[in-house]
Amino acid sequence: MQILALFFLGLVQGLTEFLPVSSSGHLVLFSKLFGIEESLFISILLHVATLLSIVVVFYKDIWQMIRHPFSKPAMMLVVATIPTCLIVLVLMPIIKSSFAGGALPICFIVSAVLLFVSENLSKKTYKQTLDYKSAIFMGIAQGFAVFPGISRSGSTISAGLLNGKNKEEVAKFSFLMSIPIILLSLLMEVYDVIKGGIVVNVSAIAITISFVTAFLVGIFAIKLMIKLTVKSSLKWFSLYLLCIAVATLFIL
């Protein structure tokens, strides 16, 4: 049963990571349904799986930033990561407790409102190229999006659009922004497990199947999902989030 449940969670992560609907929120929700307690640990591991999917798809961009660490794209990534880290460090006690799932309906609604507002208030001609100012705003949005139910991609894309930036460029940068944050989250979680002697009651086989599923589904889905995010109206995702917020009230 645990293997099937984690396989499903991997499938959910692989699909929802690339839509502005909060993959972590969905993981917490379904972890509750399946009775899996280590939702934060599983969420981070599955985010690492889809992180590898991003690396596979954007390896050329990542390699260019590694080769040229002081180029504008690389420096914008650094500039975006700094406010995210500061916000996460300040809010960490609240963030950990939020994975209990009690605030999921509110966070889903926050994401829905943000997507709706950005779609209506942002400029319809997204022609401006990304700059350091927009990277800072996207980094701030990413910091508050660590709460399950608040979409990381939705928040960062909305922040970029509200700055009048190119929609496709914003979406691409949004996914690249996740790389350092996911790595840092993994290191912090591993440190807590080692220092606190926390026992993770999930079988190695189950978590491996879940990880591989998220990775493979992510590779298959990422290009399609990014195109869908870029070309589709964010209002439809907003409507979906409102529906799942209502459903969550009856599930949890």
Lowest mean pLDDT among 81-95, 147-161, 188-202, 229-243: 188-202
DSSP one-letter code for 165: B
Average pLDDT (74-97) is 90
The pLDDT score that the predictor gives to residue 136 is 96
Q: Is the pLDDT of residue 30 over 90?
A: no
Q: Which contiguous run of DSSP H or E holds residue 199?
A: none
The pLDDT score that the predictor gives to residue 175 is 87
Q: Is the pLDDT of residue 153 over 80?
A: yes
Average pLDDT (20-40) is 78
Side chain identity at residue 77, one-letter code: L
Average pLDDT (97-122) is 86
Average pLDDT (191-201) is 64
Q: Give me the helices (H) in 99-166, please.
A: 104-121, 132-144, 152-162
The pLDDT score that the predictor gives to residue 186 is 76
In this structure, the number of other CB atoms found within 10 A of the CB of residue 194 comes to 9
The pLDDT score that the predictor gives to residue 1 is 60
The pLDDT score that the predictor gives to residue 197 is 57
204 burial via Cβ count (<10 Å: 0-12, 13-18, 19+)? exposed
Q: How confident is the model at residue 112 (pLDDT cuts 50, 70, 90)?
A: very high
* Residue-number span of the structural domain to which 164 is assigned: 2-251
Q: How confident is the model at residue 191 (pLDDT cuts 50, 70, 90)?
A: confident
Query: What mean pLDDT is reported for the chain?
Result: 85
Strand partners, 128: 165
Side chain identity at residue 164, one-letter code: G
Average pLDDT (205-226) is 86
Q: Is the pLDDT of residue 165 over 90?
A: no
Work out how many domains the chain is built from and give that number: 1
In this structure, the number of other CB atoms found within 10 A of the CB of residue 109 comes to 19
The pLDDT score that the predictor gives to residue 126 is 57
Global confidence as pTM: 0.86
Lowest mean pLDDT among 29-33, 62-66, 201-205: 201-205
